[in-house]
Amino acid sequence: MKIETILFDLDGTLIDTNELIIASFTHTVEKFGDRPYTREEIIDFIGPPLTDSLQKVNPNSVEEAMATYREHNYANHEKYVKAYPTVVDTMNKLKDAGYKLGIVTTKLSDTAKLGLEITGMANIFEVLIGLDDVENAKPHPEPILTAIEKLQANPMTTLMVGDNYHDIEAGHNAGVQTAGVAWTIKGREILESHHPTYMLEQMSDLLQIVGAD
């Protein structure tokens, strides 16, 4: 069945925020952790909701740690954030071709919007579902199903694109097609083990998959 709606994770999928996230976690765990954390340990924090990751660092100071992380993250967006290669051009072509486009992220909506503004994509997506818009984060299907409802889309013709296994699992749980991105910091093997419908070597591969090339 032809794909008509495409939903995207944001960080690590459309925009490269990896070094920003690592810097923000490093800043936070230095203040709230009981020991130094390696870069590899901090990379493991990328993807799940912030509260889940910080719970592992210090369960007694999650709220304060979240505030510290978000303050650092928001203040340093312009310094770090950029779109991945071929992303902006691909998004514009998909929009011009009439596809319904949305963002489904575990970030708060305001921070997600800031990343889209910095990378020149603020006016491309019809809907943005952030962590503050749902009760349950990915891999629960609620964020994807909420986006589908707002777009008045059909799950059967919807594709979820992401860099984390949470994105692929959420897609499976919501009954939509899925695409992993080979540039994930987690390693493509982890994504492939969750059996996405497609694997993108670069974002422009989407144009051929959906027939918009």
**Whether residue 69 has pLDDT greater than 90:** yes
Q: What is the CATH number of the domain that holds 184?
A: 3.40.50.1000
Over the stretch 158-180, which tens digit does the pLDDT of each residue have? Answer: 999 999 999 999 999 999 999 99
Q: Verify that 124 and 48 share a domain, yes or no.
A: no
* Partner residues linked to 181 by β-bridges: 200
| 150-163 average pLDDT score | 98
Catalytic residue among 9, 11, 163, 167: 9
**Whether residue 212 has pLDDT greater than 90:** no
**In Å, what is the CA distance from 198 to each residue of 13, 86, 108, 176?**
14, 17, 27, 12
Q: Verify that 149 and 95 share a domain, yes or no.
A: yes
Name, in order, each residue with C-beta under 8 angstroms of 94's C-beta and a sequence gap of 6 or more. 6, 101, 206, 207, 210, 212
3-state secondary structure 13-46: CCEECHHHHHHHHHHHHHHHCCCCCCHHHHHCCC
* C-beta of residue 161 within 8 angstroms of C-beta of residue 206: yes
Q: Verify that 11 and 98 share a domain, yes or no.
A: yes
Residue 99 structural domain: 5-16+82-210
Q: Verify that 25 and 111 share a domain, yes or no.
A: no
**Whether residue 213 has pLDDT greater than 90:** no
- pLDDT band of residue 41 (cuts 50, 70, 90) is very high
Closest CA to 196 of 183, 204, 176: 176
Q: What is the CATH number of the domain that holds 73?
A: 1.10.150
Q: Verify that 9 and 38 share a domain, yes or no.
A: no
9 is catalytic: yes
Over the stretch 98-128, which tens digit does the pLDDT of each residue have? Answer: 999 999 999 999 999 999 999 999 999 999 9
Q: Verify that 113 and 200 share a domain, yes or no.
A: yes
Tokens linked to 97: 């071709």
**Whether residue 73 has pLDDT greater than 90:** yes
**Whether residue 47 has pLDDT greater than 90:** no
* Per-residue model confidence (pLDDT) at position 57: 95
Over the stretch 126-137, which tens digit does the pLDDT of each residue have? Answer: 999 999 999 999
Q: Verify that 94 and 123 share a domain, yes or no.
A: yes
Q: What is the mean pLDDT of the chain?
A: 96
Q: How many domains does the chain have?
A: 2
